[in-house]
Structure 1
Amino acid sequence: MKFTIDVLGVFLKVVVKINRVTFAPLVVSTLFILLTSLLAHCARRLVHKTINEPFVRLLFEELIAAAELCGCCFELIVVADNFGVATYAIFLFALTIWWSVNWGDATACPYTHIEDVIEGKGDIRKALLKTWAELTGGLLVFKYVQLYWALEISETHKDKAFEECRADLQVPVIYGAIIEGIATCLCRLVSKSLGDLNPRFATAIDAFIGTSLVVAAFDYSGGYFNPVLATSLKAGCEGHTLMEHAVVYWIGACAGSILSVYMYKLPAIQRYVRGGAVANGDSIWADKED
């Protein structure tokens, strides 16, 4: 606890000094994201040291991962609003790689547990418990974000802590659900393929494709592709009802994920995965030589 307080104190001193001298709100956002990731990393290490039961430890890891994901993405909204979608995409790409490397077995995403149930790798009870842990982390982290925003260290945070939020859905509900579903399906197909093909730079490739799909959907549904993330950031916001939110970000995304399970088993996809691939004559696959 003392370490966390010391880190927070140093962080606040740094951002206040930087802001006074250079008025750099993007640096303030960057440092907040780094602090959030650092605190989550420390929390994961603490869980590993203190909890021995594997499933209970995984529940805490899911809670921490969801809190980290949503906490960072709250600040990414500020980045996107003030510095553009391109800057937002760069941050998201880097964060996606960080999360892939550091989360271990945690996913912070409910539909991955549904896929495990369909494929016989998990049971419904555990899937529900992991989803509950993720929602808990995703919903509780807003108080942490709100506390930081209330400090108004940067102009980009002025009145942000208590302002009314607006939904990102800019198309009819059914179209939003289709967009979230198709993009989620594509993301999951890519992830499954990369997992089996095991190319060099698989994490970066996955992050790049996922980020590209998010940017493509950004002005339509918001491009969340994760029910917990969407709920944490946008549930109850002005612009759609809770039922419409559930249809787009829960039913749409989960339907896309389930579809990916069955599409991945199609002979054409399996032939590609089993056969590997060579791009432009240069092998990028781990089991081939350049």
Structure 2
Amino acid sequence: MSGLNASLGYFVAIVIFAALVRTLLRKWPRFSFISEFASSFMLVACWLEVQTIVEVGQWAGALGPDVAVTMLFGLLLTHGVICGAASGNPSLVVQKFLQLEASTLHTLLAVTAQFAGAHLALLAAVYYWKLELTDMHMIKNLMAAECSTSLLVSVLQGFFTEFVCAFILHLIYLSLQRRSALIRVPLIAVLLTFFTHTARGYTSAYMNPSLAYGLTFHCSGFTFTQYAVVYWLGPLTGMTLALLLYMGHIPRIFAKNLLYFQKTRFRVPKGEKAEKKKKK
């Protein structure tokens, strides 16, 4: 129970930090990209603790898999509520860029902020583990130098897993983007939790390049390029295909709809057409 209390305290501290940053930035809209830094920091820092519970919680803190899944869902739900439009996911930022909803400069700043937040979150988590507040964190501190990779299959299988999961996620996200947050946020949290739990034996289905960078890129087993192919190229390819299928084209690249015929919104009644012919 002490391990769970320490983890909950850690989560609360990270959430308060992200909420404070988001509140302060409301006064300076031009620096809104920094909210992506806080969003990514919160997501990666808390997910690292969930990962700790998954790896050693069951036999060092009496915390079973059900606790880890529950805390992961709680994290994703809280993240969606606190961070709002700041997703902390480079794939979603690039998606807005391709939809002509974000400029090139804002996209570059946002993606850079997300990776900076992920890196700082990793440093913060390592510092937290070094405090060794519980047996679980003491063991995690000993394991930190030789962490276990989340990629448990070949690069090709990993790419396909991230691609398929990201494709489904972005397709559902696009269909829900105009819905109320009361519907969208819980559904996305449930979907992310399901994918992550289901794909635990493959890639853990992060579907988020900065999240994967903070969670598994520093672990041995694969090269940086191999990780990038799976966790960066896979989600971005899935996102691009989902956007193409949903909209029929990619606005940033193709102005013309490639898949669907666009019908005129207003039709002239047949009676009016007949009258115009008689007048002629």
Q: 1:200 to 1:149 in 2, by over 3 A?
A: closer
**TM-score where L is the length of structure 2:** 0.80
Which residue of structure 2 aligns with residue 253 of structure 1? 235
Structure 1 position 98, deviation (Å):
1.2
Give the superposed CA RMSD. Answer: 2.1
User: Is residue 148 of structure 1 aligned with residue 148 of structure 2?
Assistant: no
Structure 1 position 149, deviation (Å):
0.9
Looking at structure 2, the residues matched to 151 and 127 of structure 1 have their Cα atoms a distance apart, in angstroms, of: 37
Which residue of structure 1 aligns with residue 20 of structure 2? 42
Which of 42, 63, 72 is equivalent to 2:46? Answer: 72
Which residue of structure 2 aligns with residue 265 of structure 1? 247
Which residue of structure 2 aligns with residue 110 of structure 1? 90
Which residue of structure 1 aligns with residue 75 of structure 2? 95
Question: % of aligned pairs identical?
Answer: 26
After superposing the two structures, state which structure 1 stretch, 180-189 or 120-129, moved more.
Answer: 120-129
Which residue of structure 1 aligns with residue 184 of structure 2? 202
Which of 218, 223, 246 is equivalent to 1:241? Answer: 223
Structure 1 position 73, deviation (Å):
0.7
Larger Rg: 2
Q: 1:200 to 1:164 in 2, by over 3 A?
A: closer
Which residue of structure 2 aligns with residue 223 of structure 1? 205
Determine if contact 1:194/1:206 at 8 Å carries over to the other structure.
no
Determine if contact 1:59/1:133 at 8 Å carries over to the other structure.
yes
Which of 122, 135, 138 is equivalent to 1:158? Answer: 138
After superposing the two structures, state which structure 1 stretch, 160-169 or 197-206, moved more.
Answer: 197-206
Determine if contact 1:150/1:159 at 8 Å carries over to the other structure.
no
Structure 1 position 144, deviation (Å):
1.7
Structure 1 position 195, deviation (Å):
2.5
Which residue of structure 2 aligns with residue 185 of structure 1? 167
Which residue of structure 1 aligns with residue 116 of structure 2? 136
Which of 55, 72, 96 is equivalent to 2:30? Answer: 55
Which residue of structure 1 aligns with residue 273 of structure 2? none
Determine if contact 1:173/1:248 at 8 Å carries over to the other structure.
yes
Determine if contact 1:85/1:215 at 8 Å carries over to the other structure.
no
SS in structure 1 of the partner of residue 204 of structure 2: coil
Q: 1:78 to 1:96 in 2, by over 3 A?
A: same
Looking at structure 2, the residues matched to 175 and 68 of structure 1 have their Cα atoms a distance apart, in angstroms, of: 29
Unpaired segments of 5 or more residues in structure 1? 1-22, 271-290
Structure 1 position 159, deviation (Å):
4.3
**TM-score where L is the length of structure 1:** 0.77
Which residue of structure 2 aligns with residue 121 of structure 1? 101
Which residue of structure 2 aligns with residue 273 of structure 1? none
Looking at structure 2, the residues matched to 198 and 234 of structure 1 have their Cα atoms a distance apart, in angstroms, of: 33
Structure 1 position 196, deviation (Å):
3.5
Aligned residue type for 1:152: E
Looking at structure 2, the residues matched to 258 and 221 of structure 1 have their Cα atoms a distance apart, in angstroms, of: 20
Number of equivalences: 242
Unpaired segments of 5 or more residues in structure 2? 58-62, 249-256, 261-280
Q: 1:220 to 1:193 in 2, by over 3 A?
A: same
Aligned residue type for 1:154: T
